[in-house]
Structure 1
Amino acid sequence: MDFGIKGKVAVITGADSGIGRATAKLLADEGVKVALIDKTDEKLDAAVNELKKVGEAIGVQADLRSLDDIEAAKNKVVDQYGQVDILVNCAGITGATGDFLETSDDDWLETLEVDLMAAVRLCRTFIPLMRETGWGRVVLITSEDAVQPYTDEMPYCAAKAGVLNFAKNLSKAYAEDGVLVNSVAPAFIATPMTDAMMEQRAEKTGTDVDGAIASFLDQKRPHLALKRRGKAQEVAAVIAFLCSQQSSFVVGANYRVDGGSVASIGL
């Protein structure tokens, strides 16, 4: 399938690993010029060097909690490529977990700041560039948690529900300008974030990581029909479609890439 986006410019956050890195690789394979944004240094450089083997890529360090950092990142991308056509926000944290009554205001605010407000800042910064040219794609990463509550992950669930609603609102606001906004909802994907979760679970339960994954699937994700962690590349494939010309009639959708983990038939 020809995605029809060769020569487009994509900004991808959380791009030094996991879903962000897999998405950057897939878009680069399609001839997209990619700007990878993350807080890291060595891991970001490694990701950029990998992508340069197949296409054009730059790395930009930025803290997405800072509007100044995001503005500086935009300026660097525009100076390099002249335009931004695609925004994919993969950056996020699990945030505080545990008993709701033991979760502080600061715990909540940290999660909302990274998982929701970073998306707000990024879209406010980059969508105007797409409106100028009359063509754009925005993909925001939500989660199964946006529609399926987990009582030990309340800040994350609330933040991702906010991103889901935010994406739908944006899709209504800017579709007529040629900027198509959609979201993708992964569940239990093999990324550094879930690696850390499983390592902690293994330590707590006195087992190895494989045992922790198996018990997590059995106890915490009983509806995940495929009974395994997803792959970052499996999520990236859906994201890449939503970034393409082939998705020209897809607006305000939330694509689940969750192995069947969400039990309902709703969003």
Structure 2
Amino acid sequence: MDLQLAGKVALVTGASVGIGRGIARVLAAEGCRLALLARRRPLLEAVAAELPASAAPLVVAEDLTDPDAAPRIRDAVLGRFGRCDILVNNAGGSRGQPPGELGAEDVWQEAMELNFHAARRLTHALVPAMRAQGFGRIVNVTGPDEPLAMNPANAPNGATHIWAKALSRELARDGVTVNSIPPGIIRSEQIDQRVLPTEEARRARAEQVPAGYLGQPEDLAVLVAFLASPLARYITGQVVHVDGGARRASA
């Protein structure tokens, strides 16, 4: 299937490792030109070096939690490519707490800033350009809505889903769609180093997944590519889980 993505411009946040890197590689393979955003420039440059020349990768080293970052990022992307067709809000992170602890105030504030406000500001900065060109795809990589324990990152996930639904209704007639993807356990730097740091832990968690294994970044990236395509024009305001069947609720 031709996803009709050749020549489209995609900005992927959190693109230096894991899911973001996988998304960038899949979009580049489909013919997109890429803007890669994260804080660690050397890692971004390594990702850019992996991409085909047709991706014409732009490396943007910015901290999204800086309230002034969004207009700088917008100007860098539009200045280089003249447009932005696809925004993948992938930057974020879990903030799991030790058993019995509720989390300090600064942890809650930081989690909301990183996992909600940063993506909201960047999206709002790029929406006018998408509206003007009559095409846009916004895909938010969020997180599970079935919390197993206290985690300040869960609340921003819910906030993102509600904001994205409202935004999808606002932009639908402008040719701009907005969807969210909560991943299950996808192999990434965060999962491998913090959540499941040993092979034993990974095997134990895989046994809890109906599919029987932990996902790879490309398992999620293929859905991002489809939702980012012109073919997905009638899919908006949705939350689509990619978790190997781990989510227990049916809706």
Does the alignment reach a TM-score above 0.5?
Answer: yes
Matched residue of 2:177: which SS?
A: strand
Distance apart, 1:53 and its partner CA: 4.1
Q: Which residue of 1 aligns with 2:117?
A: 117
Whole-angstrom distance in 2 between the partners of 1:138 and 1:225: 29
Does the Cα contact within 8 Å between 1:61 and 1:73 map onto a contact in 2? no
Q: Which residue of 2 aligns with 1:214?
A: 203
Are residue 226 (structure 1) and residue 230 (structure 2) matched?
no
What is the aligned counterpart of 1:166 among 148, 163, 168?
A: 163
What is the aligned counterpart of 1:256 among 227, 241, 244?
A: 241
- CA distance 1:113–1:5, shift in 2 (3 Å): same
Matched residue of 1:256: which SS?
A: coil
Q: Which residue of 1 aligns with 2:181?
A: 184
Matched residue of 1:5: which SS?
A: coil
Distance apart, 1:263 and its partner CA: 0.2
Are residue 197 (structure 1) and residue 194 (structure 2) matched?
yes
Distance apart, 1:19 and its partner CA: 1.2
Measured against aligned partners, the alpha-carbon deviations of 1:212-247 in whole angstroms (never above 9, x if no partner) come to 1123445xxx3x201221010010000000000111
What are the ranges of 5 or more consecutive residues in structure 1 without an aligned counterpart? Answer: 201-208
Distance apart, 1:55 and its partner CA: 2.6
Whole-angstrom distance in 1 between the partners of 2:205 and 2:134: 45
Distance apart, 1:98 and its partner CA: 2.4
The one-letter code of the counterpart of 1:195 is D
Q: Which runs of 4+ in 1 moved over 6 A?
A: none
The number of aligned residues is 251
Q: Which residue of 2 aligns with 1:244?
A: 229
The one-letter code of the counterpart of 1:32 is C
Whole-angstrom distance in 1 between the partners of 2:98 and 2:116: 20
Does the Cα contact within 8 Å between 2:41 and 2:60 map onto a contact in 1? no
Q: In percent, how many aligned pairs have the same letter?
A: 33
Whole-angstrom distance in 1 between the partners of 2:115 and 2:239: 17
TM-score under structure 1 normalisation? 0.89
Distance apart, 1:169 and its partner CA: 1.3
Q: Which residue of 2 aligns with 1:140?
A: 140
Q: How does 1:24-103 map to 2 (within 5 A)?
A: 24-99=24-99, 101-103=101-103
Whole-angstrom distance in 1 between the partners of 2:96 and 2:186: 19
Distance apart, 1:166 and its partner CA: 1.6
Whole-angstrom distance in 1 between the partners of 2:206 and 2:217: 18
Q: Which residue of 1 aligns with 2:147?
A: 149
Whole-angstrom distance in 2 between the partners of 1:36 and 1:89: 11
Does the Cα contact within 8 Å between 2:38 and 2:61 map onto a contact in 1? yes
Are residue 265 (structure 1) and residue 244 (structure 2) matched?
no
RMSD of aligned alpha carbons: 1.5
Does the Cα contact within 8 Å between 1:134 and 1:177 map onto a contact in 2? yes
Matched residue of 2:182: which SS?
A: strand
Distance apart, 1:96 and its partner CA: 4.2
Whole-angstrom distance in 1 between the partners of 2:5 and 2:54: 15
Are residue 106 (structure 1) and residue 106 (structure 2) matched?
yes
Distance apart, 1:39 and its partner CA: 0.3
Whole-angstrom distance in 2 between the partners of 1:156 and 1:150: 12
Does the Cα contact within 8 Å between 1:184 and 1:256 map onto a contact in 2? yes
Q: Which residue of 2 aligns with 1:205?
A: none
Whole-angstrom distance in 2 between the partners of 1:48 and 1:245: 25
What are the ranges of 5 or more consecutive residues in structure 2 without an aligned counterpart? Answer: none
TM-score under structure 2 normalisation? 0.95
Whole-angstrom distance in 2 between the partners of 1:13 and 1:69: 12
